[in-house]
Structure 1
Amino acid sequence: MALKFKEMGHDVHIFTSHPYYPTGKLTTSDWFKFKHNTYINSIPVKRHWLIPSQKNNPLLRLISMFTMFISMFTSLSFLKEKKFDTVIVQTPPISLPLLGVIAKKRFGIKLILNVSDLWPEAMVNLKSIKRDSFAYRILHKLEKYYYKNADMILTQSEESKEYINSIGFNTSMVYRIGADLKRFTPSEIKSNSSTSFNLVYMGVLGVAHGILDLIKEVDFESINTILHIYGNGVEYTQIDRYIKAKKLSNVVLHSTVPYTEVHNILGKHDAAIISQKNYVKGTLPAKLYESMSMGIPILFHGDGEGADIVKKHTCGLTSLPTNYSLLKENIKRLSKNSIDREKMGKNGRTACLQFYDRDKQFQILEDQLQKLYSNC
């Protein structure tokens, strides 16, 4: 998003934390830096200190969000100095929109909320808190306060938009990150292995993604399939140990690769798997679009709008998070039917060309922002 705004000639700055994703850890040097200015692709980035947390523990997450809020609060005056017109705030973290509200009220800056997960709804789905709890009621009031003060709300899914509308706010629009169709193009290059079906997972190796459970439940050797895993996260070490302990020759844990190499890796495999251990209302894995754009079929092991997209465009097969038997059957079906694979792959690419082109999605956002300012 920042790069596209910069391409359009806008002055773009980013406020964020020190990097800790997906490992959940800061580097030793970052622990002792309260703020740090840097550049990424020629865009100024102001990084701030926080106590990181990647665990499914609501208290630790709130502490992490609070420390990030405090450190970023000290940079608010920078917004006034630079005379910014708009601040786009990512939520969660659920603490950060308060900075946007303060900037709006004090400096007259337009506030756009980019809602990637519905907090506290997501916390209920993940069983971190109960819907009838005091914590939920407080967080839900805070959520509605943010929506009330936002000039525009961006969501990544229709499901999130419907939820936000249902609680009384109709200023939301679906902004799908989509895929860079020029980079993620169908490839004829496949893996050197001609006897096995090559399946790839690329992404975060977190508890919510369930890759450790997946390799425990599915015997890939028995279905002549090799699962290639690329990524990092809190389950990386456990996955590595399990593969070595069980001597799994058909599950390969690769080292991480830079984003610029993702399309090359995807293009070497027969299909991509996307796994979600828990259903969380409104969430939609962005890597779905990139795999579809590559023209390879999708095995979506999860629920929600991501699964609905796969079904709608018939670009792969789906299974619920607990139904490993169906996942296994889906893998076997794709591995034995190259005609199905080719057809599903083409369907995915066609859907991206029509609906999930990143450039087209950004143009829609740009048009909506122009309307927002023209109505001022």
Structure 2
Amino acid sequence: MKDVLIISNYFQPEMGAASNRIFQMAKGLSKDANVSVVCPLPNYPTGKIFDGYKSMRQESIENIQVNRLWIYPSNSKNKLVRLFSMLSFSFSLMWFIFMNKVPKTVIVNSPPLFVAFTSLLFLSRKKHRLILNVSDLWPKSALELNAVKKGFGYNLLLKIEKYNYKKADLILGQSEEILAHIKTVVPKKETLLFRNYPDFKAPKIEIESYRNSQKIKIVYAGLLGVAQNIVGLAQRLDYKNIELHVYGSGAEEENLKSFIQHNPDLPILFHGSLERTELHKELVKYDATIIPLKNKIYGAVPSKIFEYSRLGLPIIYFGGGEGEALVTKYNLGWIAEAGNYDSLNNVISEINIKDLNSNLREKIQETALYNFDAKHQTNCLISLI
């Protein structure tokens, strides 16, 4: 069996799409290859090392050898502090590459750009087969989120991005938009669409047995970050016929708690974070899920689309772009114009609670199981490595 190393800034037991995506990839590849992972000590999104992981360590998770390296953890809003946090893992990664025998096939996750840059810079000298897995278009996405401004720093990031694409032998992108952008930079590079499809046992659809409210129970579950703008969503929703339930954690968690505390009459409930399996059990109890993005981000396709449709959960999509097109194409729910809260509230007001039944959920789940096949996708990747 071939040996494959995955380098990622995120991995289990961290929460979020990046962690789930890399874990899913590692599990899928482990059926046909000896897979190992190099990642930081788990700290995301809290910015603190998780209990039980206070020093560098090795462990095995479902036959995947995991090497956890030192990092200076932070979820600070200070850009310099967060930059130092990313660079700290890059330094640890340099040490790991120099001190260990690295498999010939290496998959590098990006962003962060600096981590990918470090991996590609040092491993390309040793003539490894380098596969770059691009989940977001940095620095383009950072510019759209106002996380960076045009200037020297942005231009430097553009050069790093181009270097990463040039050094990779194969580039994976989780959206068609990402691959289209990459082709404008490196037109002849081999690419593969590799979406963040989940691979868990789909639950049996049951709904009418627990509905006890005439209000539509809408749930958001995931990171509470700037891109999701969950506080802004909570502030602008019309609660006449809905309840909002929130699961997750992140940089905006305290702001959300403060908003709820100062608006006790609004039907908003914050439930904190749950392990993924337990979260799935809770999510199926709600009528619909909402997937918001503060701004339309070119290349972004939230993995929640694939995960929640597999659960049979109707989706209210509020983010534009390729994600919106997917929800429309596969009839997974409703879309509202990105950034337009009047449009969002109008869409929600037109949803008939009687239509949120088991028949709808079964159709959504069947669509997901047929079209979002993780095993087929992994087989395509295996054939290329």
> TM exceeds 0.5?
yes
Contact 2:206-2:358 within 8 A present in 1 as well: no
Q: Is the 8 A contact 1:177 1:361 kept in 2?
A: no
Computed over aligned residues only, the root mean square deviation of the Cα atoms, in angstroms, reads 2.3
- With over 3 angstroms needed to count, the CA separation of the structure-2 counterparts of 1:77 and 1:248, relative to structure 1, is farther
How many angstroms apart in 1 are the aligned matches of 2:46 and 2:268? Answer: 21
**Change beyond 3 A, Cα 1:340–1:191:** closer
Distance 2:108 2:270 in 1: 35
| Helix, strand or coil at the partner of 1:230 | strand
**What does residue 69 of structure 2 align with?**
48
- Cα distance, 1:184–1:138 mapped onto 2, change above 3 Å: farther
Distance in 2 (CA, whole Å) between partners of 1:197 and 1:343 is 17
String of CA shifts for 1:319-374, please: whole Å, max 9, x gaps. Answer: 2342112211222222x2533766754553343233212222212222232xxxxx
Among 7, 24, 31, the residue aligned to 1:7: 31
1:140 to 114, 134, 158: 158
The answer to whether 1:295 aligns with 2:312 is: yes
Question: More deviation in 182-191 or 56-65?
Answer: 182-191
Is residue 2:384 matched to residue 1:368?
Answer: yes
- The answer on 1:86 being equivalent to 2:105 is yes
Does the residue aligned with 1:52 lie in a helix, a strand or coil? coil
- Distance between the aligned counterparts of 1:13 and 1:362, measured in 2? 16
Unmatched runs of 5 consecutive residues or more in structure 2: 1-24
Q: Return the offset for 1:89.
A: 0.7
Aligned position for 2:232: 213
Which is further off, 62-71 or 174-183?
Answer: 174-183
- Alpha-carbon offset, residue 58 of structure 1: 4.0
| Mapping for residues 1-376 of structure 1, pairs under 5 Å | 1-8=25-32, 10-27=33-50, 33=55, 35-55=56-76, 57-77=78-98, 79-80=100-101, 84-131=103-150, 133-169=151-187, 170-180=189-199, 182-183=201-202, 186-188=205-207, 191-220=210-239, 222-223=240-241, 225-334=242-351, 336-339=352-355, 345-369=361-385
Q: Give the 3-state SS of the residue equivalent to 1:11 in structure 2.
A: strand
Any idea what the Cα deviations from partners look like across 1:277-336, whole Å, max 9, x if unmatched? 1222211111111111222211011122111111122221112342112211222222x2
Q: Which amino acid aligns with 1:95?
A: F
1:248–1:232 CA distance, 2 compared to 1 (3 A):
farther
- Cα distance in 2 for partners of 1:305, 1:184 equals 27
Moved more, 201-210 or 310-319: 310-319
1:206-256 CA-to-partner distances (Å, cap 9, x unmatched) read: 121111111111132x22x11111111111122122212210451111132
TM value normalised by structure 1:
0.88
- Conservation of the 8 A alpha-carbon contact between 2:205 and 2:358: no
Q: Who is 1:372 aligned against?
A: none
Any conservation in 2 of the 1:178–1:358 contact (CA below 8 Å)?
yes
- Displacement of 1:191 in angstroms is 4.0
Percent of matched pairs sharing the same residue: 32
Report if the CA contact (8 A) 2:174-2:194 is conserved: yes
CA distance in 1, matches of 2:208, 2:133: 37
Instruction: Tell me what 1:373 maps to.
Output: none
Q: 1:5-41 CA deviation, whole Å, 9 max, x = no partner? A: 1222x211111111111222335886x63x2223333
Letter in 1 for 2:114: S
Unaligned runs of 5+ in 1: 370-376
For residues 187 and 107 of structure 1, do their structure 2 counterparts lie closer, same or farther at Cα, with a shift above 3 Å needed? Answer: farther
Contact 2:117 2:160 in 1 (8 A): no
Contact 1:114 1:154 in 2 (8 A): yes
